[in-house]
Structure 1
Amino acid sequence: MFTTEPVLELEQADIYQGTKLVLGDVSFQIHKGEFVYLIGRTGSGKSSLLKTMYADLWLQHGRGRVAGFPLDQLKPRDVPFLRRKIGIVFQDFQLFFDRNVEENLKFVLKATGWTDKAKMTARISEVLMQVGLGTAHKRLPHQLSGGEQQRVVIARAMLNEPMMLIADEPTGNLDPGVSDQIMGVFKQINNAGTAILMATHNYDLLNKFPGRTLRCQDGQVIELKG
């Protein structure tokens, strides 16, 4: 079904961390297939904004919709369904180090309601091919480089074919050459139609891979004009 509805929309949203207002009156939209950077100093509210989008923090004031779910009316029982529609990529990989790559991915599929073993195996192979790790099924995380671990994390985020990927400093722990490779993976995913919102400190990436840019600054989110 083709829709022109934004994948993500915030309207006069106030973003709180506990009782502290970190960003006020935030309004922007992200559409299918867009690639958007989120920049700003440490403590400027980037992570709080991302956490609000995947319902780790509740939207207390204003309106928001992500992947068709109204953030301002979200019920706790809806959160797992929202998170199936968006993939989340963290800086710290959060992989199970006692399980191989395939078992790490299978855990997520089972947790999100998959039961058919053949379909799970096929989907795991698809996402690993997508991130360039087609032969890594049986390897343990400690047998992978940092860049390869991050590819596994991206594959994990893509398992349920999300409408959008939210990435919080995904290249933060990687050296520049590896960061560029990981950006290449994100760009491929984006070119296939998945919207991406990426928080980053790495301004080299913005120059090498230009995209729409939002900045958290002085308690606001402003769009930088290219």
Structure 2
Amino acid sequence: MTFAQDSVVRIKDAAIYQGEHPVLRDVSFTINKGEFVYLIGRTGSGKTSLLKTLYADLPLPLGEAYVAGYQVHKIRQHEVPYLRRKLGIIFQDFQLFFDRTVAENLFFVMRATGWGDKGKMKRRLSEVLMQVGLDSAAGKMPHQLSGGEQQRIVIARSLINEPLILVADEPTGNLDPDVSEGIFQLFQEINNSGTAVLMATHNHKLLNDHPGRVLKCEKGKVLDSVHDVFSFRSEF
């Protein structure tokens, strides 16, 4: 398998496990800088396990994986935080601190990833909040925001370190259709600025309205194609 020089993710002959249970086998694909890729499949098909492998939350016992310049199949524990600084990770649940303001949530991530200059931290805070359209939300508590606004804060948090790729696990799963479309448009804007996006989703409407490249987890395999959305209706 030949990999492009500008790839941000390269997987070759990988086996994805949950504990001792094999979930996916013979996984090989590449995601280049600036690409937008959907990840689909039935519940339990291995989507989340695949994403966790990319950011080294699950070990990779077989095969090779190169993510943002790191050899994930050989990565040592002390290297994992450095890998994750190059990724924007968006989980199924928001994982915000609800007893802290939006600014305090983002400052926590900055300090955890090595930021120390308070002036630079404040400037970056303003930049990412403006990027997600919530520049006036810094002093608010998460519970004062709608679900869509909370998701925008999560996206802002993922952008702090200017990641090479956003890895998003069902980012619109708990949002109504109109809000989901707005969040998706934000992902497209981020992608258009040069950041790659890998988005796991069950949202059939998004794929129908915005067709593109798809990785599909099915029967222990990962299939790769630019899809005709109708051929994937059974996956939702």
Q: Hey, which bits of structure 1, 4+ residues long, moved more than 4 A?
A: none
1:212 aligns with 2:213: yes
Which deviations, in whole Å up to 9, do the C-alpha atoms of 1:154-187 show, x marking residues without a partner? 0000000000000000000000000000001100
The residue that corresponds to 2:84 in the other structure is 83
Distance 2:207 2:77 in 1: 36
The residue that corresponds to 1:190 in the other structure is 191
Aligned amino acid, residue 188 of structure 1: E
RMSD between superposed Cα atoms in Å:
0.9
* Residue 93 (structure 1) shift: 0.4
Distance 2:195 2:13 in 1: 25
The residue that corresponds to 2:234 in the other structure is none
Distance 2:210 2:146 in 1: 23
TM-score (norm. length: structure 2): 0.93
The residue that corresponds to 1:157 in the other structure is 158
The residue that corresponds to 1:202 in the other structure is 203
Distance 1:106 1:13 in 2: 36
The residue that corresponds to 1:93 in the other structure is 94
The residue that corresponds to 1:16 in the other structure is 17
Distance 1:154 1:111 in 2: 17
Distance 2:20 2:135 in 1: 46
Q: Size of the alignment, in residue pairs?
A: 224
1:108 aligns with 2:109: yes
Distance 1:224 1:64 in 2: 20
1:63 aligns with 2:60: no
Distance 1:17 1:48 in 2: 7
Aligned amino acid, residue 143 of structure 1: Q
The residue that corresponds to 2:146 in the other structure is 145
TM-score (norm. length: structure 1): 0.98
* Residue 225 (structure 1) shift: 3.6
The answer (yes or no) to whether the contact 2:91–2:168 under 8 Å persists in 1 is yes
* Residue 90 (structure 1) shift: 1.3
Distance 1:194 1:154 in 2: 13
Distance 1:4 1:193 in 2: 16
Distance 1:128 1:39 in 2: 29
1:207 alignment partner, SS class: helix
Distance 2:33 2:25 in 1: 25
Query: How high is the sequence identity, in percent, across the aligned residues?
Result: 62
2:23 alignment partner, SS class: strand
Gaps of 5+ in 1: none
1:7 alignment partner, SS class: strand
Gaps of 5+ in 2: 228-236
